[in-house]
Amino acid sequence: MKKTQKMEQTVILSIESSCDETAAAVTVNGRQVLSNVIYSQIDLHTIYGGVVPEIASRKHIEKINQVIRKALSDAGQTLDTIDAVAVTYGPGLVGALLVGVAEAKAIAYAKHLPLIGVHHIKGHVCANYIEYPELEPPFLCLVASGGHTHLVRVDDHTHYTVIGRTRDDAAGEAYDKIARAIGLGYPGGPKVEKAAHDGDAHAFEFPRAKIDENPYDFSFSGVKSAVLNTINSYKMKGMEIDDKFRNDVAASFQQSVIDSMCERVVMAMDEFQMDKFAMAGGVASNQTLRAALKEAVESKGGTFYCPKPILCTDNAAMIGAAGYYEYLNGKRDGLDLNAVPGLKLE
């Protein structure tokens, strides 16, 4: 495709390397995905029970050129046919982010292309624009991943208001810790979901935290401690941790997460007069959680949105979607763009 043939089309090469996925994608006008290549490092980290930052950075360096080359060729594009480069610059692991940022800067410099630094959480939210071409702001969105749990009001394509956030563990982090405690290993989310499927969600009454200062904030450390106490007292009674116990703990824990989320979402729909609700982030792959939130939203007459799992987990197409709207809004970064591991969502 020659540039002169393009009709109002912005082709973006996007890069994501904030944690343990090395990813690159090519998108058109933020919503059409020409390619979405993800190299997951999960197997490398599984033996350590979690992501090891140094290993992640090293693997990103090894893989990034290969992943970008594949993203371009799958899309039938080259570095000469793209219009801009978007890259996640935070939040995330600093060494991992730096690999993507340095790569994007090198391409932008060599090819004289605009460079757009993208907020990782905005990327997760924007995955919904890819899945639902008709979706437009304003809407509510719950971003739940291994590092974040944010309930946001998406005011327009580039501006967000944070309504609530976790005070301690992120939802995905809680899933991972519970999985480890009941001996399911890493990554915990899908394993806890599977175990919960065969368990009794009311076998144990784990707490649903309430935060007085902000009823939209989340806290998952209480439920995590309650689960650990239950496991310890079970062991002290000399009882064996068998599949039934594991499944019941997983289901009861998951029910506590579901109830906390549904309660806040329904309350926010009322208070902010929103009838559109979207989910995002790795935890949004959870089918039981999706079904419960869909039911809660639809019982209020609202519309429920949630991207397919491949767009929920870390990927670069979502960064292309967010990058496109930042680009339209005039955002351009210089070659001094840096990785910001603790980047906040204003």
Cα radius of gyration rounded to whole Å, the chain: 21
Residue 215 CB, shortest distance to ligand KG4, in Å, is: 23
Among 145, 149, 158, 219, binds ligand KG4 (CB under 6 A): 145
- Of 103 and 173, nearer to ligand KG4 (C-beta) is 173
Tell me the closest approach of the beta carbon of residue 42 to Zn ion, in angstroms: 13
Q: Closest CB to Zn ion among 108 and 322?
A: 322
Q: How far is the CB of 117 from ligand KG4 (least distance, A)?
A: 17
- Count other Cβ atoms within 10 Å, centred on residue 4: 5
Q: Shortest approach of Zn ion to residue 257 CB, angstroms?
A: 17
The interface mask with ligand KG4, positions 73-112, x = CB under 6 A, is ----------------------------------------
- When CB distances are held under 5 to 8 angstroms depending on the partner's kind, the choice from ligand KG4, Zn ion, none that residue 149 binds is none
Instruction: Indicate whether 199 belongs to the interface with ligand KG4 (CB under 6 A).
Output: no
**Any contact of residue 307 with ligand KG4 (CB under 6 A)?**
no
Rounded to a whole number of angstroms, the minimum distance from the CB of residue 260 to ligand KG4 is 14
Q: How many residues bind ligand KG4 (CB under 6 A)?
A: 20
Q: Is 41 in the site for ligand KG4 (CB under 6 A)?
A: no
CB 249 within 8 A of CB 230: yes
- Number of neighbours of residue 310 by Cβ within 10 angstroms: 12
- Chain residues that interact with Zn ion, rule: CB under 5 A: 145, 314
Distance, CA of 158 to CA of 137 (rounded, Å): 10
Say whether residue 113 binds ligand KG4 (CB under 6 A).
Answer: no
Residue 286 is a binding residue for ligand KG4 (CB under 6 A): yes
Which range in 1-9, 133-141, 185-193, 333-341 contacts ligand KG4 by CB under 6 A?
185-193
Contact range with ligand KG4 by CB under 6 A, out of 4-12, 153-161, 212-220, 278-286: 278-286
Residue nearest Zn ion, CB atom distance: 145
Nearer to ligand KG4, 10 or 88 (CB): 88
Q: Which is nearer to Zn ion, 27 or 285 (CB)?
A: 285
In whole angstroms, give the CA distance from residue 29 to residue 27: 7
> Which residues, 7 to 26, sit near ligand KG4 by CB under 6 A?
19
Q: Is 147 in the site for ligand KG4 (CB under 6 A)?
A: yes
The answer to the question of residue 314 lying near ligand KG4 (CB under 6 A) is yes
Q: Which residues bind ligand KG4 (CB under 6 A)?
A: 19, 145-147, 172-173, 175-176, 187-190, 193, 281-283, 285-286, 313-314
